[in-house]
Amino acid sequence: MLLPARAEVARQLRRYRAWERMMLASPADRAVRATFENSGYTLCVLMGKRCAREAADAAERFLRTTLTTYLQEQDDRPRRTGAARRKPPTGVRSRVAR
């Protein structure tokens, strides 16, 4: 698993928090909102998360802990097994080659 450099994570997290404050101060400003969403996306990609809030939390945890502890926390997360995966809706037939 490749992990980002701590300096880059810290820089992107500071950028995300700064734009978050600016967006909350002026939510109607489309340029501020777009830049805030862009910074959130960058943080998501950097931390490998789907949601900007999850990415910010993961970045804070990553900066707060040692590398070994962070990797152990990632391994301890519950994973979705076959039973927990989504099942197709009822009434939908799979395509079978005839």
Coarse DSSP helix, strand, coil percentages of the chain, rounded to the nearest 5 percent: 60, 0, 40
Please state the pTM of the whole predicted model.
0.67
- Which segments of the chain have a pLDDT < 70? 1, 67-68, 70-71, 73-98
- Are 32 and 26 in contact by the 8 Å Cβ rule? The answer is yes
Distances 34 to 17, 19, 26 between C-alpha atoms, Å: 14, 10, 12
Confidence (pLDDT) at 12: 96
Tally of CB atoms within 10 A around 16: 24
Place of tokens 């880059």: 8
